[in-house]
Amino acid sequence: MLCSWRTADLGLLLILTVFLVGVNTSCLVSINKKAVLSCPPVQLATLVLIRWEINLRDKPSCAKAYKRETNEIKDTGCTDEQITWASRPDQNPDLQIEPVAITHDGYYKCEMATMHGNFQHGYHLQVLVTPEATLFLSENRSVVCKAVAGKPAAQISWTPEGDCVTQQEGWGNGTVTVESTCHWEGHSVSTVTCSVSHLTGNKSLSIELNSGLRTSVSPVSPLLIILYVKLSLFVVILVIAGFVFFQRIMIAEDDYIHDSESLPSPLSM
């Protein structure tokens, strides 16, 4: 991401410098991306000195400087290897940060001394972290939407609106987790949507409810499926066994009747 402040007319720049001493720009950069901070556009042939002052959050100030007369580059207290010159300072005085980390939050100022005067421009760099959004049904029959570890804190809204309680929890690295818990008691609601709004992008999550409170029926567990199959097989076996037993009884009765008919009558003896 390029954070720049440009003007094509050097004469106009010289005039504006009188009135824009200490001009600052807000610069938003997503974590793990590349950031390039630009100095005021001056003619490099008139350049005498370039100095970047870097003030990171919770760290001492440091500086990177280039002196054209001696072609000397000097670092004073700068130890972060992700913060470098974008190129050779005599060709491109921009500052480069790659990859951007949460610790790169801070204030960066480019100061340029030229034959025509001094110029400066500062950047308030804010590192953005996309929150992880989740939506689920809690044990107390409420729906919970969470935006975990976002920077800055995300905003959560609901469709339709319900009875909601939203709270935030901050972490030591500057990220914030936002949790919103809602219920729709007494309302006929089948589906609710949680919308998470953030500077890095928006996300919507939906969940279906039963009677406005529960999610749709959960799938049957594998254990229950096995139990159902075993029970079904047992019933089938019982039916087959019963049918075989009944057949045997019928055959036995037929044999008995046949044998009885084949015996001589007592009167004929």
- pLDDT tens for residues 163-194? 999 999 999 999 999 999 999 887 788 899 99
Strands 117-128 and 24-30, by their bridges, are parallel
Q: Select from 128, 161, 195 the last residue of a domain.
A: 128
Residue 36 and residue 118 in one domain: yes
* In a shared domain, residues 22 and 121: yes
Q: Tell whether 88 and 117 lie within a shared domain.
A: yes
CA 104/CA 95 separation, integer angstroms: 13
In-domain check, residue 115? yes
Q: Are residues 141 and 196 in the same domain?
A: yes
Kindly state whether residue 58 falls inside one of the protein's structural domains: yes
Q: What is the DSSP string of 55-72?
A: EETTS--EEEEEETTTTE
Number of domains in the chain: 2
Instruction: Supply the CATH number for residue 57's domain.
Output: 2.60.40.10
The answer to the question of residue 216 being in a domain is: no
Tell me if 121 is assigned to some domain.
yes
**Which domain covers residue 28, as residue numbers?**
2-6+17-128
What phi-psi label fits residue 174: left (phi over 0), alpha (psi between -120 and 50 degrees) or beta?
A: left
Residue 244 forms part of a structural domain:
no
Pair (27, 107) in one structural domain: yes
Quick one: 138 and 154 in the same domain? yes
Residues 104, 25 share a domain = yes
* Ranges of residues in the chain whose predicted pLDDT is under 70: 4-22, 210-225, 227-229, 246, 251-269
Residues 115, 152 within the same domain: no
Q: pTM for the whole thing?
A: 0.70
Mark whether 122 and 204 lie in a shared domain.
Answer: no
Burial of 119 (0-12, 13-18, 19+ CB in 10 A): buried
Indicate whether 102 and 146 sit together in one domain: no
Q: Evaluate whether residue 233 is within a structural domain.
A: no
**124 three-class SS:** strand
- Assess whether 72 and 139 both reside in one domain: no
pLDDT reported for residue 14: 37
Among residues 106, 128, 150, the one where a domain terminates is 128
Is 236 within the bounds of a domain? no
Contacts of 13 (CB under 8 A, 6+ apart): 7, 40, 41, 42, 119
**Domain ends where: 128, 160, 195?**
128
Q: Is residue 88 part of a domain?
A: yes
184 in the same domain as 84: no
